[in-house]
Amino acid sequence: MRTNMASKFLSVVGSKLLKSTPSALNWTSMRRNGSTKAGTWFRTRPKLLAFGALAGTAGLLLYALDASVEASDDCVHPPKQNWDHNGLLSALDMEGVRRGYKVYKEVCASCHSLQYIAYRNLVDVCMTEAEAKAEAEAITVKDGPDEQGNYFERPGKLSDYMPAAYDNEEAARAANNGAYPPDLSYIVAARKGGEDYIFALLTGYCEPPAGFALREGLYYNPYFSGGAIAMGQLIDNEVVTYDDAEIAPTSSQIAKDVVTFLKWTSEPDGDQRKRLLVKVVMISAFLVGISYYIKRFKWSSLKSRKIMFVPEINEQSKSNGEGKNCPK
Ligand code: HEC
């Protein structure tokens, strides 16, 4: 009798095919179909394990290769320094960048160019617009042609790029014993070890070890590949004077400032990107959280629903052997 009522109720609801059942009850049947999470896990586990083992072996191999190459390097590895700007939440020390620009201008610019940095890039980074304009006006730029077709010289503008020390690579090589002083715009990004390497290179000049044959015009620097570099020691105590009397112009302070400046030139938008990253992580954490909640909320009824065919069999039809309400 009870089954009769239950089947009638189902037909009243109008869905002979749909029936909600708690998923726990269907555990065995679902497991047989291999459609549970646990079932999938058991089937894919050997594959995952094989993939993990393979990835682990590849990683170890790469590490071992890198370590063996490092061990056979022909130079000393630069020690790691505690840069203020390292870390996701730290910005560049812009006063350091300003001092570093002074060091670059007074010491390095006589040989190295900085071709990707314009005077306008300095505005609101380490100086005001008026200061940057004054810096630009101190250089002369070849411009033209004018209306008569002549080339002329004019004082620099904010939109001008830093002047190159030499007209071309040949002139640079001729003046530097055949070695080419590279452009410094991206040097921090372009050298392994980044800031640590440049700092160690600038402050690491010393006497060559006994038996080290140094060619004429080369200097010994253990951090430079091969040990012999065509750039002499340029940074020493008080090679520049700082406006801020509080900061002593020691060689390590000067090297630190110029490296901070070169870090900025190789990544002028680094600080903005860090700030953007913080925003993106905060907003997407919120969005991911809320989407996960909504997904669980919306899908909970669908996930716990099972679709099955329930034929209507009442007791009478059972007893006289004919299905009264059999599907036609
Ligand atoms: C007298 C010219 C001269 C001055 C001034 C000079 N350099 Fe150099 N620099 C060179 C030359 C030449 C090389 C190429 C060295 C080589 O290949 O042996 C070089 C190479 C470099 C390198 C590249 C090293 C590498 O790994 O390839 C860096 C970095 C560098 N200089 C930084 C500076 C900085 C910073 C300053 C200012 C403090 C500066 N230089 C001032 C001539 C100079």
119 CB neighbour count, 10 Å cutoff = 24
Whether residue 326 is annotated as binding a ligand: the answer is no
Are 91 and 206 within one domain?
Answer: yes
What is the whole-number distance in angstroms between the Cα of residue 127 and the centre of ligand 1?
Answer: 26
Average pLDDT over residues 198-227: 94
**Quick one: 22 and 112 in the same domain?**
no
CA distances from 156 to 110, 160, 161, 167, 237 (A): 18, 6, 9, 17, 31
Residues 36 and 98 in one domain: no
77 is annotated as contributing to ligand binding: no
Instruction: Give the domain range for residue 203.
Output: 77-117+161-268
Query: For residue 248, how far is its CA from the centre of ligand 1 (angstroms)?
Result: 24
What percent of the chain shows pLDDT beyond 70? 84
Q: Please, which pLDDT band fits residue 51 given cuts at 50, 70 and 90?
A: very high
Residues 105 and 36 placed together within one structural domain of the fold: no
Whether the predicted pLDDT of 9 surpasses 60: no
Residue 182 lies in a domain: yes
Residues 228 and 182 in one domain: yes
Is residue 262 one of the residues assigned to a domain?
yes
At 320, is the pLDDT very low, low, confident or very high (cuts 50, 70, 90)? low
**If you measure from the C-alpha of residue 112 to the centroid of ligand 1, how many angstroms do you get, rounded to a whole number?**
7
Q: Does 113 lie in the same domain as 34?
A: no
Which of 238, 268, 298 is the last residue in one of the domains?
A: 268
Whether 30 shows a pLDDT value over 80: the answer reads: no
Question: Given pLDDT bands bounded at 50, 70 and 90, which one contains residue 306?
Answer: confident
* pLDDT tens digit sequence for 215-253: 999 999 999 999 999 999 999 999 999 999 999 999 999
Going by alpha carbons, the residue nearest to atom 11 of ligand 1 is: 181
Q: Could you tell me the CATH number of the domain that includes residue 250?
A: 1.10.760.10
Same domain, 63 and 166: no
Is the beta carbon of 94 within 6 A of some atom in ligand 1? no
What pLDDT does 233 receive?
95
pLDDT at 19 (0 to 100): 44
Indicate the number of domains in the chain. 2
In this structure, the answer to whether residues 250 and 222 fall within a common structural domain is: yes
Judge if the beta carbon of residue 162 lies within 6 A of ligand 1.
no
Using the atom order of ligand 1, give the atom closest to the CA of residue 228: 18
Ligand 1 pocket check for 233: Cβ under 6 Å:
no
pLDDT tens digits for range 96-120: 999 999 999 999 999 999 999 999 9
Q: Is residue 3 part of a domain?
A: no
220 & 193 share domain? yes
Is residue 104 domain-shared with residue 55, that is, in the same domain? no
Same domain for 82 and 64: no
Residue 39 Cβ < 6 Å to ligand 1: no
Cα 181 to ligand 1 centroid, rounded to whole Å = 5
For a mutational test of ligand 1's pocket, the pick from 231, 251, 257, i.e. the residue with the most ligand atoms closer than 8 A to its C-beta, is 231
Higher pLDDT, 303 or 21: 303
Is residue 59 in a domain?
A: yes
Whether residue 316 is predicted with pLDDT greater than 50 in this model: the reply is yes
Identify whether 290 is part of a domain: no
Residues 39 and 61 in one domain: yes
Which helix or strand (DSSP H or E) is residue 13 part of? Answer: helix 2-13
